[in-house]
Chains A and B, each alone.
Chain A
Amino acid sequence: MQTDSLSQTFAALADPTRRAILARLTQGEATVGELAEPFDMSLPAVSKHLKVLERAGLVSRGREAQWRPCRLEAGPLEAANDWLEVYRRFWEQSLDRLESYLDELQMKGKPHGRKS
């Protein structure tokens, strides 16, 4: 069975180091060495994180054998963001309904209660 791409995106994003790598890439392309710099981490360790990000389609690598600069791919991030928006709407509307429901509960026996 195929893992859906959103789960893969979230699995990749679930690691703070990988999120930091992506955040760095929002400023432009970078090599593995440049990405490793701010972190107390070996190049192989950073490469491992990059592989996860590549598999999730969040990062692509250049063709040049030596450099292979890493670049941020925005598509999956946009999908993740849309997903968050769905949750925001879900809760905002639920809480609207909660407000009305609380009013309704408290109005019992009060002739002049508010109605929304």
Chain B
Amino acid sequence: MAASPELVIEPQDRVLVITRVLDAPRALVFKVWSQPEHLVRWWGPQGFTLPDCTLEFHPGGAFRCLMRSPEGSEHRMHGVYKDIVEPEKISFSWTWIDAEGQPGHETLVTVLLEEAGEGGAKTKLTLHQALFESVTARDAHNGGWTGSFERLAAYVARL
């Protein structure tokens, strides 16, 4: 029987990881994440708008936004800022609220900003979205068992 404990792929089950190098200094990138008047200009897929967005931009503060699709359907989202380190880190919980006002599955988003390019003219942005709350704390006790979601995802991809 093949034993499983070679499941280590990443130190944590960071399911979604996206990296981008942005042609702007880090302070500016941090600003457009932290102020609603900037956030509403870009947050959401192409064609979506944020007609209503309030941020309490401090650890423990909530954000609530209404997102409208190009077809006019509306989606409410809600979250709480967990950790904010200007100008390098923002993490927040994030969940969609359904039509009955019930929150869906909560995920944890972490945005890291690093200076890049000559004289810090650019910014490397790394976004992690963890599917499971407190996954780090739980998995820290379980060393070799982490990374199994990646393996499951790979399995599903082969179907």
Contacts and interface: CB of A to CB of B under 8 A. Distances in A.
B73 interface: no
Contacts of B16: 84, 87-88, 91
Interface stretch (B52-60, B82-90, B126-134): B126-134
Given A22-B152, A78-B159, A88-B16, A10 B45 contact: no
Interface in B1-18: 1-5, 7, 13, 15-16, 18
A78 B154 CA distance: 11
Interface string B66-109: 00000000000000000000000000000000000010110100
A23 B4 contact: yes
A98 B22 contact: yes
B28 A77 contact: no
A23 B148 contact: yes
Contacts, number: 131
Given A13-B149, A20-B145, A105-B28, A91 B129 contact: yes
Nearest to B138: A16
Contacts of A95: 18, 20, 125, 127
A26 B131 contact: no
Interface in B22-54: 22-24, 28-29, 32, 38, 41-46
Nearest to B1: A34
A59 to B, nearest CB: 12
A98 B139 contact: no
Given A81-B157, A93-B45, A14 B152 contact: no
Contact of B131 (A84, A89, A92, A102): A84
A84 B38 CA distance: 26
Given A26-B152, A84-B131, A20 B7 contact: yes
Contacts of A37: 1, 3
Given A19-B148, A23-B152, A114-B23, 11 more contacts: A4-B104, A6-B105, A16-B139, A19-B149, A22-B148, A27-B2, A30-B1, A77-B156, A93-B45, A96-B46, A105-B24
Interface of A: 1, 4, 6-7, 10, 13-17, 19-20, 22-24, 26-27, 30, 34, 37-38, 72, 74, 77-78, 80-81, 84, 87-103, 105-106, 114
30 contacts: A4-B104, A6-B104, A10-B132, A13-B149, A14-B131, A16-B138, A16-B142, A16-B145, A17-B145, A22-B148, A23-B7, A23-B148, A23-B152, A26-B155, A27-B2, A37-B3, A77-B155, A77-B156, A80-B156, A87-B16, A87-B107, A89-B45, A90-B44, A95-B20, A97-B42, A98-B22, A98-B42, A99-B22, A105-B28, A106-B23
